[in-house]
Each structure stands twice: as structure tokens, then as C-alpha cells.
Amino acid sequence: MTPNQAVLRVPIDRSRWLRGAVDATLRNPDTCHECVVGTIARTAGIPAGRLEKHCRISAMPGQPLPAALHEFDKNRNDTSWTEDPRAPERRFPTRYLLYAINDDPLLGDAARERMLTAVAAGIGIELTFTGTTLPPHAVPPTTDGRAGQAALSRGHRTGNPARRLQLATSILTRNGTWRALDETTLVLDTDPETAWAYAWDLLRSCACEQDAAVRLTVRDAETGRTIADAYHEPVR
């Protein structure tokens, strides 16, 4: 950030924050949810309709980027490079890190917020996160994201005993809290792909039936550990 550079102040509404999914659009036209770069761009003056068609900010013929977004111009030769807070030995263009940290499926939201805030500050963008945090909703329930356990969500056969999962659904109330709906047990046995498909269908059908945002939390019945957390809301 240069000494004379104006600060762009960007409020991020956690309840409409799109994150944890690679190559999502900057703004979802159905839910109006945005990734952090989408909210930055809209705050700087880029129309929402333009954000809904792209997963990256770029200048277009007759549509230059606002001055506050100069760091996102891929044609610049003086782009800022920043240490990756996930691995300080690596350095990347700051704009890349904002996309990468926002979309990283392995980051928890508290760490994601801290990293995004620090990286954005380096190019004159002040992020403020407000509101109730909702779980990442751009991806269906999976395992806890670790590569060693990803076979469960890909349908690979294993010799391990059947795993029993507890599926709990809850509905988002008007005051921003979650109210419990129902619980069921799911056996993750020889066809994990079918089991996860059932869980995702359950989440979507509950959202349509309730005509509201519904959250699905999946826990290991034996250990009680949460291994998936997602929510879905009907298209209006």
C-alpha cells in the first residue's frame, strides 16, 4: 500500500459469504452470496451482474477496473507480492492469495478471516466481517477434507468396518440462530458415494420443504467428531 493510497473499506456479511469452493463465481445470482473478492469488487463499483458471470476480476473492453482494484489488473507489471500466510516460505501476487485463501476448503473460518484481512490490508483494502457465521455452502458434505480420508466421499471400497454417522438437520430462524429439526443415523458401508448422495439430497429436500436455509451437520456416531457441515437454501 502506498502512503497516498485511499483505503477501501469493505464489510463482509458472513451470512452471505461464499467460500471454501474452487472456481465458484464471484457472486451467486440465485442467493446473492459472494466470495470476498466479489464483495470487494461490488464495493468498489463493479455491477453485480458482471460478477455473476465470472470467477475472477478482470478489465474488459470499455469497462476498466476501478482505481481501488488496480492490484487485480493482470496486465500490471508492478503487482504486489505477498507471503502466503498458509506457508510463509511462498510468495504470490496479492490478488491470487485473496482468491486462494477464500476458496481453500481446508481452512477454518476464523483462520480464513484473519488471513484475508491481513492480505487485503497490504493493498489498501480494509475488511470487516460481521453477522452470523454460516458453514460453507458451495460444496456438498464430504469427509473432513483431509486427503487421507477422501476415499470415503469418492466411493472407494475399504476393508474397514462400517462407519455409523449421525445426521442432524436444523433450520435458520429469523433472528439468525439455528433451530433443530431432526436427527437420523446413516451407515457408511460398502457404497459411501450413495450414502453421501443421500445426505446431500436430504439437505436439499429439507430446505425446499421448509422454504428456508437448512443446515446439515454430520458426526461420527462413535467419536462424536464433526466430519461435515454444510447448508442449503431454496432458490427464490
Radius of gyration, CA atoms only, the chain: 20
Neighbours of 112 (CB within 10 A): 21
Block means of pLDDT (10 residues each) for the chain, 236 residues, are 74 87 73 89 88 76 80 73 86 89 80 92 94 53 32 37 76 83 72 63 72 80 80 63
CA distance 39 to 55: 12
* Domain assignments of the chain as residue spans, ordered by start: 8-130, 147-232
pTM recorded for the entire structure? 0.57
Q: Is the dihedral of CA 115, 90, 105, 37 positive or negative?
A: positive
How far is C-alpha 106 from the chain's CA centre? 10
